[in-house]
Structure 1
Amino acid sequence: MAGGRPHLKRSFSIIPCFVFVESVLLGIVVLLAYRLEFTDTFPVHTQGFFCYDSTYAKPYPGPEASSRAPPALIYALVTAGPTLTILLGELARAFFPTPPSASPVVGESTIVSGACCRFSPPLRRLVRFLGVYSFGLFTTTIFANAGQVVTGNPTPHFLSVCRPNYTALGCPPPSPDRPGPDRFVTDQGACAGSPSLVAAARRAFPCKDAALCAYAVTYTAMYVTLVFRVKGSRLVKPSLCLALLCPAFLVGVVRVAEYRNHWSDVLAGFLTGAAIATFLVTCVVHNFQSRPPSGRRPSPWEDLGPTPTMESPLEKNRRPAGRIRHRRGSPHPSRRTAPAVAT
């Protein structure tokens, strides 16, 4: 900005693009997440199991709402936590701007669309970061639900809700001669338990709650690290990021301790959420940096200062071409002799 006046830029495509492109894409993602989560449009893969397999014979922990980390609490945290953090960060950035010499990227311009709509840089940043976060949240839900539907991996309490009739299935009870499972059951009608509980018990990999927590924590931690400016202390931002990581880790521990997921399910959920958040931050919002008013992205080498140059000795001793030329027939300038002195 020159002289404290904001740069103005007219654009008549920002509102149609937001309404007819970005909103439609977000609606499609929400609809797909709803279909995968609450309907049977995509049936869960029926995976077989071994008779008397102790890996899936843990006691039934009860419905999800009775967990120490219920879905309602997790959804509230992954929605409200990052939203409040980004809102406070952008408000602080708007009311307490950094000096021009300290900001490495040129500020954005104010976009004027039509005669009444005016979009300031703080408003655009807030909508951009929160919109991308919402898109990634539903995308993480789609990835987790799609993995559960495709794999159909059982939970640790699968046999407790399946209640198979081992006698009708021809499974002999374990004995000292056969301490482990010896038959693999692939019959789709082997379970005599509640169909809804059995279907829910087949959706373990990856853990959706772990994926959502990892996505929210990674996105928020990267925002805090890349946007916040704290002078005089090197431990404030790392401490805040570690404090954000603790709830996600505790959610994974609770899922395993209550026999709702295996450790492999939780780790896969963590990797899925963290990968989606890292991709969106680095490739979509460009590390939460502002865009220059001219639409040109600054090169990463522009902020390194002038490059030191070294003068070549050939260029230093170069003579003009006019001084080297001489007339035909005259001696070479370097071979001229001194004039004779009269005695």
Structure 2
Amino acid sequence: MAGEKLGVKNSSSIVPCFLFVELVIMAGTVLLAYYFEYTDTFPVHVQGFFCYDRTFSKPYPGPEHHSMVPPMLVYSLITAIPTLTILIGELMAFFMKAEGTQEKTIVAADCCFFNPLLRRIVRFLGVYSFGIFTTTIFANAGQVVTGNQTPHFLSTCRPNYTALGCQSAMHYITERRACTGNPLLVVSARKSFPSKDAALSVYSAVYTVMYVTLVFRTKGTRLAKPTLCLALLSLAVLVGVVRVAEYRNHWADVLAGYFTGAATAVFLVTCVVNNFQWAQPAPVPVRAQRPDSVLGMPMTALPCVESPLEKLSGPQTPGSPFTEIT
């Protein structure tokens, strides 16, 4: 009890769980995301298409790094903005001792002390990093399984319509070797659903917005937090709009990416990090109500008035006019 009063808690399981459970899961997630992104371990499903399909006949917009929102810019923003926001928020909450953010120092094996500030930063940023790789896996898995084509698919595929017998636009082509374009560009043009950039952008924005909403306490202004949250969400939505405007994704791909990222962020915040709040103490058992209370509200004590009947029924004293005569 003395240790808990001083804000110190002993735990012998925090280090083994971190080393042999959480780091192993994190490493497995990173490896799986790497294999999806940079190897051909999981081949993309080859989906057929109609001849002269206008849905896939948009002009080729160029490499990804020529986009108005290149992947490097998206990845830099989804890494820097949440990290800086969480670091600033935790430092302010720790030094200002905000309510709901103060935890106990963990002592493990009498040698390791884990400061509450460090624990919260590592926890929130670690879960955020795990969510980034999880969202990447979900998006890549959807692209590999579906094999949906991008709006500029036919521009990169360059099918030989004469050799394929395309006499009409209703002719459906299922041949794997129908494309004569660059194989790398063709494979990339088959990864449209869902949009990975839209998923990562919305995941980062929703996670950060929920952190700002649940942790930051602003006094004197009611527009600071909504303005910051709407700005972050607007940037995420803008990424999806640019993807559609540049013919890199369909609207359905972007909306599916939005849903994937938002669902991942909401699940991690509510079910894993407990809305960024520390564990609440066990509730104090409610004591039995006293008979002088009704519905938990004490009754007002009224002045007592002695009844004449009580006087008559009470013990009789010698000399009383009501003493029985024998």
CA contact (8 A) 1:6 1:110 kept: no
CA contact (8 A) 2:140 2:196 kept: yes
Counterpart AA for 1:111: I
d(CA) in 2 for partners of 1:206 and 1:106? 37
d(CA) in 2 for partners of 1:116 and 1:156? 59
CA contact (8 A) 1:155 1:261 kept: yes
Encode CA deviations 1:1-26: one digit per residue, 9 max, x unaligned: 99x97421122221121111101100
Q: Which runs of 5+ in 1 are unaligned?
A: 174-180, 302-306, 313-332, 334-338
d(CA) in 1 for partners of 2:239 and 2:324? 105
- Deviation, 1:198, is 0.5
Q: 1:116 aligns with which of 106, 111, 120?
A: 111
CA contact (8 A) 1:106 1:291 kept: no
SS in 2 for 1:261: coil
CA contact (8 A) 2:93 2:101 kept: no
d(CA) in 1 for partners of 2:230 and 2:70? 22
d(CA) in 2 for partners of 1:34 and 1:27? 11
2:53 — aligned with what?
53
d(CA) in 2 for partners of 1:107 and 1:80? 25
d(CA) in 1 for partners of 2:324 and 2:30? 103
2:296 — aligned with what?
309
2:176 — aligned with what?
188
CA contact (8 A) 1:145 1:208 kept: yes
Within 5 Å, give how 1:149-188 maps onto structure 2: 149-172=144-167, 181-188=169-176
Counterpart AA for 1:262: H
Percent identical among aligned pairs is 64
1:279 — aligned with what?
267
d(CA) in 2 for partners of 1:225 and 1:244? 12
Q: 1:141 aligns with which of 136, 148, 173?
A: 136
2:119 paired with 1:132? no
Q: TM-score scaled to structure 1, two decimals?
A: 0.81
Between the two proteins, the alignment pairs up a number of residues equal to 296
- Deviation, 1:166, is 0.7
CA contact (8 A) 1:107 1:291 kept: no
d(CA) in 2 for partners of 1:6 and 1:153? 59
d(CA) in 2 for partners of 1:197 and 1:268? 23
d(CA) in 2 for partners of 1:58 and 1:237? 40
Within 5 Å, give how 1:214-225 maps onto structure 2: 214-225=202-213
Q: Which runs of 5+ in 2 are unaligned?
A: 287-293, 300-312, 314-321
Encode CA deviations 1:194-235: one digit per residue, 9 max, x unaligned: 111110000000000000000000000000000000012211
d(CA) in 2 for partners of 1:193 and 1:203? 16
- Deviation, 1:144, is 0.3
2:18 — aligned with what?
18
d(CA) in 1 for partners of 2:181 and 2:241? 27
Within 5 Å, give how 1:198-237 maps onto structure 2: 198-237=186-225
Deviates more, 1:249-258 or 1:219-228: 249-258
Encode CA deviations 1:133-163: one digit per residue, 9 max, x unaligned: 0000100000000000000000000000000
d(CA) in 2 for partners of 1:33 and 1:290? 31
